[in-house]
Amino acid sequence: MPSPFISSEAFMNTDEAAAMLGVHPKTLQRLARSGRITAYRVGKLWRFQARDLWADVAVRVVPLNGLYDGVATTSI
User: pLDDT of 14-59, one tens digit each?
Assistant: 999 999 888 899 999 999 999 889 999 999 999 999 988 888 877 6
Q: What is the extent of the structural domain holding 38?
A: 14-60
List, as one string, the DSSP characters of 49-65: -HHHHHHIIIII----T
Q: Is 73 contained in some domain?
A: no
Angstrom distance (rounded) from CA 18 to CA 75: 26
User: What pLDDT score was predicted for residue 19?
Assistant: 92
Q: Is 31 contained in some domain?
A: yes
| 12 backbone dihedrals φ, ψ, rounded to 5° | -105, 150
Q: Is 70 contained in some domain?
A: no
Q: Is 8 contained in some domain?
A: no
User: What pLDDT score was predicted for residue 26?
Assistant: 95
Q: Answer yes or no: is pLDDT of 1 > 60.
A: no
Number of structural domains, the chain? 1
Q: Is 68 contained in some domain?
A: no
Read off the pTM. Answer: 0.64
User: What pLDDT score was predicted for residue 57?
Assistant: 79
